[in-house]
Amino acid sequence: MDASPPRGTGMPGADREFDRSRAVVVTGIGAVGPLGWSVESLWEGLIAGRTAVGPFDRFDHTGHRTHVAAQVDLAAEPRRARGKPRRISNADRFAVAAARSAVARAAIDPRDRRERAGVFFGSSTGGMFESEAYLAALLAPAPGHRRPPAASLLASQQNNGPGDAVARDLGVGGPVQSVSAACASGAIAIGEAVNAIRRGEVEVAIAGGSDSLCRLTYAGFNALRAVDERPCRPFRGDRAGLSLGEGAAVLVLESRARAEARGARPLAVAAGEAATCDAHHMTSPQPEGSGAAAAIRAALADARVDPEAIDFVNAHGTGTPLNDAAECAALMAVFGDRTADLPVTSTKSLVGHLLGSAGALEAVATILCLLHGEVHPMPDDGRSDANLPLRLVLGRPLRLARARHALSTSLGFGGANAALVFTRVLDQDHAR
């Protein structure tokens, strides 16, 4: 067994263009989710510890064993964010709105040097929700209704839909890459974007993920008995599964040098990234969390940040018994005795599991926590688990005014693991 972790960085001299020392910063963030259509509404909900998981009406779920999810209020979509209504899926709409918000915050126009801007996007189901309507009409037509449904419902079915929609909307002309690695998709897409900037492939990367609620995932996770009948309770002793959510999140990434040259104030440094695979099982995590631990170690090494320097963790934290246990084991393997004192939160406890965009939304949440000097809480619901000795942020925010480095983890089906390290930009960094 090869115990050496993968290097998350390039070997010096291996590629004349790949520059590990090229600092990559976040200059824009955007988010659409069950807490609203803006970063502000996301933060308000997160810091209040207000869960968006509850009854939902996106589709008929009467035959399922569970009846909760965290859905986006489609009627609340700001007029300025609306995409072309035809042939655009919910996932595309979320992605476009989040991307527009992120580039506006970054004060960039990707069209300015469009061939030097790229899109790196994760999705696990793309426009599946709309495709289901087509398939339902095709496979089980209503009595007397034999006319084939409009094929336009299928136009954006594939997982490249959200990333392509963003690229078209923003007029991007550089590389566009859609990643599907289940629940790690969004985080891996951000990692790919970081490396694209390091190698000089793009000057600006619009990176994130988008997924929408759909019957496929709701039925599938229910069939696996992986959905809690109540809002999910990550890492709690009575946790009984995840809660599904939907939405999109986007980061605008560029080199620190470029941001400084144009006078932009970075929100955070995207300091480290890494991805690994458990190579263990399609749906069950490796019980000791070895694959996740390898990803965390590699991301820390990539960021040149010691484990002791991490101030808090935005955990994958789904609320499923096996996943939370494996993730806790991974954190203990990396952080050792310090794990018990390391603040851990799970954004999924408030917005549900956004699947292919979870890693992206949690990256935004992590950056917001660094910016505000506060770690958002999880609902203080359920009982503690003696087997998971974590310092969970429960009930109210944890003030960490001096927090500098934070870790965000994403662990997906097929054993796909990703870890991202974000570093707060201090005032003296700006003064340099």
Partner 1 sequence: MRADPVITGLGTIGPGGQGRAALARALALGKPAVTEVDRAGGAHRESGARLAALVRERDLSRFIAPAAGRRMSFPSRLAVAAGRMALEEAGLGAADTGGARTGVYLSTTFGPGLFTELLLRAVFLEGAAAAQPFHFSECVANAPAAQLAIAVGARGPSLMLTQREAGPILAVARAAQAVREGRVDRALAGAVEEITPLLHALLDRFGALAGPGDGRVEMPRPFDRRRDGFLAGEGATVVVIEREEAARARGARAQARIGWSGAAFDPTATVSDWGDGHAALAGSLAAGLREVPGGARGIGAVVSGASGARRGDRLEAHVLRAVWSGDPLPPLLVPKAVTGEYGGGILGPALLALEGASFGPTPGFAEIDPEVEVAPHRGAASPAPERVLLTGLASGGGAAWLVLERTA
Active site residues: 183, 316, 353
By CB under 8 A, tell whether 321 contacts partner 1.
Answer: no
The reply to whether 6 sits near partner 1 by the rule CB under 8 A is yes
**Contacts to partner 1 from residues 154-183, by CB under 8 A:** 154-156, 158-161, 164-165, 167-168, 170-182
- Give least dist CB 213 to partner 1, A: 14
CA distances in angstroms from 196 to 107, 352, 425, listed in the order given: 21, 30, 21
Residues 221-250 that bind partner 1 (CB under 8 A): 221-225
Do 112 and 254 touch, CB atoms closer than 8 A?
no
Pick the piece of the chain touching partner 1 (CB under 8 A) from 218-226, 228-236, 372-380, 387-395.
218-226
Q: Which stretch binds partner 1 (CB under 8 A): 26-34, 49-57, 253-261, 412-420?
A: 412-420
Q: Which residue spans within 215-290 are E strands per DSSP?
A: 247-255, 268-277
Q: Which residue's CB is nearer to partner 1, number 5 or number 373? A: 5
Min CB(370)–partner 1 separation in Å: 26
Q: State which of residues 262, 281, 383, 396 lies at the interface with partner 1 (CB under 8 A).
A: 281
Distances (CA, A) of 255 to 23, 39, 102, 269: 6, 23, 16, 9
Count of residues engaged in binding partner 1, rule: CB under 8 A: 89
- Secondary structure of 298-366 as H, E, C letters: HHHHHHCCCHHHEEEEECCCCCCHHHHHHHHHHHHHHHHHHHHHCEEECCHHHHCECHHHHHHHHHHHH
Residue 143 or 263: the one with the smaller Cβ distance to partner 1 is: 143
- CA 221, 223, 228, 234 torsion-angle sign: negative
279 counts as binding partner 1 under rule CB under 8 A: yes
Contact flags string 353-382 toward partner 1, x per CB under 8 A: ------------------------------
Q: Of residues 80-109, which lie at the interface with partner 1 (CB under 8 A)? A: 87-88
Q: Which of residues 37-66 bind partner 1 (CB under 8 A)?
A: 61-64
Distance CA(385)–CA(401), nearest Å, equals: 28
CA-to-CA separations, 225 to 217, 221, 319, 321, 428, in angstroms, rounded: 12, 6, 12, 11, 50
Interface mask (CB under 8 A) for partner 1, residues 285-314, using x and -?
------x--x--------------------
